[in-house]
Amino acid sequence: MSLDQQVEAVVRPVADTLSRLVFYPLELFGQDFPLIVLWLATAAVFFTLYLGFVNVRGFSLGLRHVRGRFHNPRARGEISHFQAVATAVSGTVGIGNIGGVAVAITIGGPGAALWLMVAGFLSMSTKLVECTLGVKYRRNNPDGSVSGGPMFYLERYFSDRGAPGWGRVMGGFYAIALVIGCFGIGNMFQSNQAYVQFLVISGGEDSFFAARGWLFGLLIATAVALVIIGGIRSIALVASRIVPLMAVLYVVSALVIIGFSAAQIPAAVQLIVSSAFSMNSVTGGMVGAIVVGFQRALFSNEAGIGSASIAHSAVQTNEPASEGLVGLLEPFLDTVVICTLSSLVIVTVAYPNGLVEQGFEGIALTSAAFAHHISWAPYPLAFAALLFAFSTTIAWAYYGLKAWTYLVGESQLMQTAFKTVFCGFVVLGCMIELSAVLDFADAMIFLIAVPNIIGLYLYAPEVKRDVADYMRRVRSGAVRTTEQYPPLQ
């Protein structure tokens, strides 16, 4: 029995049980609605309404913070607002934005694209809450670094109310699940898909790397190691360079492809809207489109899981609500912009030209849609996919590291041990098929949304007061702009 078969035999029963628990299907109007999706979607709707559509009211202010308008050079923290959101975006924008959207539309019909965008819009409010809390309850370490995220604000809530044991249990559960999950969703899956995409642009079965997944994995692991060894400053610096590059590359490429099918845009928009409210039973109709659209969006931007708040916690600011406003931009870019462009590529190109009927699916469908107008278009698409996978890996290395140090302490030895193991799993992801491990890791990641969102609900009144107070002080001029801070000596 091979190594992957042995791992499959051990992990598969556990993975199946955990997946059934996390993704348990509730039947709504004749359609299965995964329990975790309902949990995340309900939170997104609640926080959008409870905070008075802060995702609209605070959008322009979030942009002003990203541009450095309110940067305080003397505040605690390690990275700028822009670097924080770039790091978090690098962790969410991945292969799913290219291939996952195609799968969603294939299953749920073109109408899933509209509900995907709606879910992304609502998720902005959830992200604001968890990023605000991540900064407010972060821990300042003796070496000047900071550590934050759900494990810290979950522990703090119960500790402040006389139940430190419960706080430690909640924080510890979140951290353990995140450590396990980061090796799957943010590591092996990314390196595996990067390897598959690299083979596409290097000759396929004739590629030098076709039977040398270990070598490609070693090269990726080396690049990852060179970045993560420098900690969040290094990760943020690389992310701030890669994210704009990969976003512009993909956005421009998608717009060019959509432009070639400009005549199809009115019909495509009409098809998306009509399908979103259709009763057609073939794709599940309106409910099926809502289920698939919300699932793809929430799985893509990770709002409610709390992972991104770990990166945002490292921002240099004394105003937690300011980073919450920055955080709401993340689902907008990830889902409303990039996923919507992927949807339009599919609906304007793949549908009218019969690519769906030809059996293409996932990233292959998106690639075929790009190639329909420009034969060499899959090459920049594959390059963008490689950047997506690499950036996601380095971001999740930081998430996993902070969860690990929460459990075992901040010693350099333990940090080095985690980074070494993490890079080893990057290589492993390119060598073997471990579907059971990946399913188990995915289930663990979404399982942590349960305690995290409970914490967000408990903190909701506090966050509402903090955000309202901060926005009021900005309007009154009480919050300093960058120019009003005296220069550092």
Report the C-alpha gap between 363 and 381 in whole angstroms.
10
**What's residue 299's pLDDT?**
76
H or E element in which residue 146 lies: strand 146-147
pLDDT at 196: 77
pLDDT of residue 463: 97
Q: What pLDDT sits at residue 56?
A: 96
Instruction: Provide the whole-model pTM.
Output: 0.89
- Separation between Cα atoms, residue 22 and residue 361, nearest integer Å: 26
Residue 282: the pLDDT is: 45
Distance CA 257, CA 380 (A): 12
Task: Name 418's Cβ contacts closer than 8 Å, sequence gap at least 6.
Answer: 400, 401, 404, 405
pLDDT of residue 11: 60
What local confidence, expressed as pLDDT, does residue 281 receive? Answer: 43
pLDDT of residue 293: 77
Cα radius of gyration rounded to whole Å, the chain: 22
> Cα(431)–Cα(448) distance, rounded to whole angstroms?
28
pLDDT along the chain (489 residues), means of 10: 56 68 64 80 95 96 92 86 89 75 82 89 95 94 86 95 92 92 83 79 76 86 91 88 86 91 90 80 60 77 90 93 94 90 90 80 80 84 82 92 93 92 89 65 79 95 97 92 72
Overall fold of domain 3-24+32-482? Hydantoin permease (1.10.4160)
Using an 8 Å Cβ cutoff, are 335 and 117 in contact? yes
Backbone angles phi, psi at 32, to 5 degrees: -75, 125
With 0-12 / 13-18 / 19 or more C-beta atoms within 10 angstroms meaning exposed / middle / buried, residue 99 is: buried
Tokens of 335: 């889902």
All structural domains of the chain with their residue ranges: 3-24+32-482
